[in-house]
Amino acid sequence: MARKGFVPAKTRIAMSAGESVRVLRELQEMSQVSLAKATGIPQSTISGIEHGKIKLGVERAKTLARALKCHPAVILFPGWDIERENAA
């Protein structure tokens, strides 16, 4: 279902939800400490999420998304490819 003149972005790298949090945080020039203050999530937990040691649940993703000003799906499904899903 491509729109006229629309060219979908190409995935450059595959990343995990934790890597997505890190990239979004760094793009906004936030430290883990400042993100922790903005979310109420301990800095050690944010570090664990970013390093894949702590699983990221929906509620935490919503909290992080509010602080990072993005939709939770950007965090939870960073590499989701709708075209590949529709082809399956």
Q: What does pLDDT average to over the chain? A: 88
Please state which CATH class domain 17-87 belongs to. mainly alpha
Which of 1-5, 52-56, 58-62 has the least mean pLDDT? 1-5
Q: Beta-carbon neighbour count of residue 61 at 10 Å?
A: 22
What mean pLDDT comes out for the span 25-48?
97
The pLDDT score that the predictor gives to residue 4 is 78
Which run of H or E residues covers position 1? none
What mean pLDDT comes out for the span 67-79?
90
Q: Which residues contact 32 (CB under 8 A, 6 or more apart)?
A: 25, 43, 46, 47, 50
Residue among 41, 33, 44 at smallest CA distance from 65: 41
